[in-house]
Structure 1
Amino acid sequence: MQHLETSYKTHDQLDLYLQAWMVPSPKASILLVHGLGEHSSRYVHLVEKFNEAGISVFTFDGRGHGKSDKPKPTAYFESYEDYLKDIDVLFGKVKKFVPDVPAFIYGHSMGGGLVATYVLKYKPESAGVILSSPAIKEAEGTSKLLIAVSSVISKYFPRLKALKLDASKVSRIPEEVEKYLKDPLVYTDAVPARTGFELLQAMRFVQENASEFELPVLLIHGSSDGLTNPKGSEILFEKAKSSDKTLKVFPGGYHELINDLDREEVMNLLVNWIIDRIPKS
């Protein structure tokens, strides 16, 4: 396995931190898109599972996140459309870097919602998509007034810290919550108003256009996820016209399933799902 680190300058001149874990003679490649407030290096244990199965993994710290936001993460970005452009360019790089093998996309939480949006808007040529706890539907009971007010705040006070996420809902394993809270590259303050509003727009787009989703897709969600609404995964699963679609709900599961009590089962499911979609030579 070879670990590479580099950077990429976006269309609007931001420097994004990129990293990849390459295996010799890969059977497949995957672009991994992390969740809100976190960063790509939190997935090393999953990367190892993919690498052991002959899958090369490419990932990045998104705009406003991890090592891409100096001097420290803010979780701020102007537009979800900018994020989709980043995903598109980087997925193109993955396919050029590892040609002639199936290329997959993985998105968690915010990354899952954005990957779903990307698939619907850009129609990428991908062998399949994994969406982990994707942000596709707002929390139950979110008032229309609050949503209307959020657009005003986003416009005039875009960096106002508007929505605090409950870190205790990341995992049922206390050590994982502690690790999350102590990680200097994880943003744990309230989410900026513009970021929240843009994610809401992306979620609405997925809800309204889910019937146009055609790629093979694996959706995983915890039934007790308190950070993204499991009903969002159900909506996409029910509406997608994909002939190959799977929804796996983990009873009692919290938000980060690869860091929760069922993590070994979850990671094996992810790896096997990809392996099963690699053409046998």
Structure 2
Amino acid sequence: MQISKDYIRVSDGQELYVMRYEPPSPIGHVHIIHGMAEHIGRYTEFAEYLASRGFIVSAHDQRGHGKTAERNGVKGYFADQDGFERVVEDAHAVITEVQMSTGNLPLILFGHSMGSFVTRRYMQLYSEDISRVVLSGTGGDPGTYGKIGLAVAVASAKSQGKQQPSKALGKMTFGNYNKPFKEEGSSYAWLTRDKEAVAKYEADPWCGFESTNQFYIDLFSGLAVINKPSEIAKIRKDLPVLLISGAKDPVGDNGKGVFSSAKQFVEAGMVNVKVYLSEQGRHELLNELDRHAHFEIIGDWMCGND
């Protein structure tokens, strides 16, 4: 297997950090879109597993995250305006570049958490180019709560500045996630039962940081768009989608938000939508104690074993 690391320049001049894992005689191309306040370095074991199954795997640090932010940008910041659409187009640019160099292999998207929201928008815009989709740790429509969050973010950006990190908005968004696990001694216990993985997250300077006011404007704006029935209706009806989450994941409201999202797809006429909930799993199934079982479930499904 060949592993490469590079930067890809996109239309507005930002350079996105990209990793690729290339096995001999690949059967497909998986692109990973990571979550909020993390980076693609956390997906190495999963990417290597997928490569062992025959997939070319690509992944990029989204703007405001990881080595992309380190090279050019502000931590926890997408863009001055329309940042959510910007990161969707970033993913499209990276995927297109990889596809051009590797041939038009069947494309599978894997999006986790915030990355699942970016992936859901990608589906709405480019579903004809996608073979399969895995949505990991996704959430349901925040509804009124999302509108309130957007209003608070807009007001905060005006009073404090777009690039000001917002502890208040972070607390508003994630403040209750750890309540069921507060006795475990870490404010990030909601991520996984694996205490070693939680400790690594806490020790990583590119994880768990406070995002900016403008980031939350982009996030809540994006959530409003991806949950519009008119936008969901744009996805091709036969696109296979797997929603995989922990039954104790607060982002997915312990499964309720995951099934709600699946229902949106079904109501839009999509005919191949599957949900898998890990009974004891929390938010990051790829970092759970039984992560290798989840690797296999995802890998089998990517190979067409429905």
Q: Settle same-fold status: TM greater than 0.5.
A: yes
Q: Which residue of 1 aligns with 2:119?
A: 115
Q: Determine if contact 1:155/1:194 at 8 Å carries over to the other structure.
A: no
Distance 1:231 1:150, change over 3 A: farther
Task: State the secondary structure of the residue aligned to 2:227.
Answer: helix
Q: Which residue of 1 aligns with 2:34?
A: 34
Matched, 1:168 2:189: yes
Distance in 2 of aligned mates of 1:233 and 1:213? 18
TM-score for both structures, normalised by structure 2: 0.83
- TM-superposed CA distance for 1:206, in Å, is 1.7
Once the two structures are superposed, residues 112-167 of structure 1 have per-residue CA deviations (whole angstroms, 9 ceiling, x without a partner) of 111101111333411111110124533x9838544422232245532231314452
Distance 1:168 1:144, change over 3 A: same
Task: State the secondary structure of the residue aligned to 2:162.
Answer: coil
Amino acid across the alignment from 1:223: A
Amino acid across the alignment from 2:280: G
Q: More helix per residue: 1 or 2?
A: 2
Distance in 2 of aligned mates of 1:8 and 1:159? 24
Distance 1:136 1:90, change over 3 A: farther
Q: Which runs of 5+ in 1 are unaligned?
A: none
1:244-259 alignment runs, 5 A limit: 244-259=272-287
Q: Which moved more, 1:78-87 or 1:197-206?
A: 197-206
Q: Which residue of 2 aligns with 1:195?
A: 215
Q: Determine if contact 1:113/1:136 at 8 Å carries over to the other structure.
A: no
Distance in 1 of aligned mates of 2:199 and 2:234? 40
- Select the residue among 144, 148, 151 that pairs with 2:151: 148
Q: Which residue of 1 aligns with 2:51?
A: 51
Q: Which moved more, 1:107-116 or 1:223-232?
A: 223-232
Matched, 1:208 2:208: no
Distance in 2 of aligned mates of 1:146 and 1:33? 24
Distance in 2 of aligned mates of 1:50 and 1:245? 22
Once the two structures are superposed, residues 50-70 of structure 1 have per-residue CA deviations (whole angstroms, 9 ceiling, x without a partner) of 111111100111100000112
Once the two structures are superposed, residues 10-43 of structure 1 have per-residue CA deviations (whole angstroms, 9 ceiling, x without a partner) of 2111111111010111011111110001111111
Distance in 2 of aligned mates of 1:117 and 1:193? 21
Amino acid across the alignment from 1:225: D
- Select the residue among 87, 91, 104 that pairs with 2:91: 87
- TM-superposed CA distance for 1:237, in Å, is 1.1
Runs of 4+ in 1 over 6 A off after TM superposition: none
Amino acid across the alignment from 1:213: I
Matched, 1:75 2:79: no
Q: Determine if contact 1:103/1:128 at 8 Å carries over to the other structure.
A: yes
Task: State the secondary structure of the residue aligned to 1:235.
Answer: helix
Q: Which moved more, 1:191-200 or 1:143-152?
A: 143-152
- TM-superposed CA distance for 1:175, in Å, is 0.8
Amino acid across the alignment from 2:52: E
Distance in 1 of aligned mates of 2:213 and 2:194? 30
Query: How big is the alpha-carbon RMSD for the aligned residues of Structure 1 and Structure 2?
Result: 2.3
- TM-superposed CA distance for 1:49, in Å, is 1.2
Amino acid across the alignment from 1:234: F
Once the two structures are superposed, residues 228-261 of structure 1 have per-residue CA deviations (whole angstroms, 9 ceiling, x without a partner) of 5444422231121322211111123211011113
TM-score for both structures, normalised by structure 1: 0.90
Q: Determine if contact 1:73/1:185 at 8 Å carries over to the other structure.
A: no
Q: Which runs of 5+ in 2 are unaligned?
A: 175-186
Q: Which residue of 2 aligns with 1:7?
A: 7
Amino acid across the alignment from 2:19: Q
- TM-superposed CA distance for 1:86, in Å, is 0.5
Tell me the percent identity: 26
- TM-superposed CA distance for 1:77, in Å, is 1.0
